[in-house]
Amino acid sequence: MNLEQLQREMAAAVMLPLAADEQMRAEAADGRKMSTVAESFIAPNSRLSAFERLEIYNRQYWFRVLGALAEDFTALRAVVGGKAFEALSIAYLAAHPSRSFSMRNLGSQMVEWLARNPEYAGRRRWLAIDVAHIEWAFIEAFDSAEREPLTLDQIATLDGESRLALQPHLRLIELDYAADELALALHVRQKRETSEAGLEHDSGPEAPARLPKLRRKLIWVAAHRVEFTVYYRRLKREEFLTLASLGRGLPLGEALEAGFLDSGISQARRPKRVREWFANWAELGWICAPDLDALI
């Protein structure tokens, strides 16, 4: 094997899902014996066979990525339960293995994957998708870029043809349940239990957490960052749709039309509502000039 082939063979072996007893599988995905695979690029030593040496890396890889995913989706784990979350995580990582130098990106496909495979979330499947959406939005809002926002004076010069951009860390989320409040409550509970139990605390309950009864209702949320702290802010439908339209690059006039489409807000009340929006957006720093390079 040349270097590239050796690296690919090693990566495939290390990323092979563990057996049910958390040991390395006896066979590779293509049916070859893993002992033979290991011997093709790892030498044994006086204490361990090639298979046993490779198994150390295989187990540590999976323990690390499963632990990282559990840290990023603590509320999702509580919603579906510990055992179900482990099965969910293994299936997800088998479909979307780590491809980045950063563990931050590990859960980047979780929301879309869970929507395609809701059976892994059990009877709380739709709530679980909402909770995953909220938790991934937190990660993106926490470390995405921040640009210079427009001031109120600059906003006052806008017209219907103006094109705007949203802060890169702003995330707009449409939910079927009040998953924002639920996720925050579950995070607080997890931190309290961890603090009380110290280092001996398990990463989460095996059974799904007992939750308050939640009524299905469309909710619109913005996740954003202020001085390294992520906040969630509820939005009305019209404000959410207008911001989403601006984020897609529509001119201001068209974005407002999209925002008020089928709205119950009367024409007479809309200008006041828009002024309130822009005052809030300016205070929060959500609106920026468009990236000219991206428009070319």
Q: Which residues, including other chains, have CB under 8 Å from residue 52's CB and lie 6 or more apart?
A: none
The 3-state DSSP class for residue 185 equals: helix
Share of the chain above pLDDT 90, in %: 84
How many other CB atoms are there within 10 angstroms of residue 208's CB atom? 20
Which tens digit of pLDDT belongs to each residue from 67-79? 999 999 999 999 9
Q: Is the pLDDT of residue 201 over 70?
A: no
pTM for the structure as a whole: 0.87
Using alpha carbons, list the distances in angstroms from residue 295 to 49, 165, 260: 57, 11, 26
**Taking CA 234 as the corner, what is the angle to CA 107 and CA 109, rounded to the nearest 5 degrees?**
15
Q: How far apart are CA 56 and CA 51, in angstroms?
A: 9
Cα 188 to the center of its chain, rounded Å: 18
Q: Amino acid identity, residue 176?
A: D
The enclosing H or E element of 137 equals: helix 125-143
Q: Is the pLDDT of residue 177 over 60?
A: yes
Q: How far apart are CA 214 and CA 176, in angstroms?
A: 10
**Phi/psi-derived region of residue 43, left when phi > 0, alpha when psi is between -120 and 50, beta in every other case:** beta
**Residue of 158, 211, 162, 161 whose CA lies nearest to 186:** 211
Per-state percent for the chain, helix, strand, coil, to nearest 5: 55, 10, 35
**Residue of 115, 71, 75 whose CA lies nearest to 92:** 115
Residue 199 is predicted with a pLDDT of 41
How many other CB atoms are there within 10 angstroms of residue 53's CB atom? 16
Which tens digit of pLDDT belongs to each residue from 226-268? 999 999 999 999 999 999 999 999 999 999 999 999 999 999 9
**Residue of 211, 212, 202 whose CA lies nearest to 83:** 202
Which tens digit of pLDDT belongs to each residue from 108-158? 999 999 999 999 999 999 999 999 999 999 999 999 999 999 999 999 999
**Domains of the chain by residue range:** 1-67, 73-143+179-213, 147-168+235-296
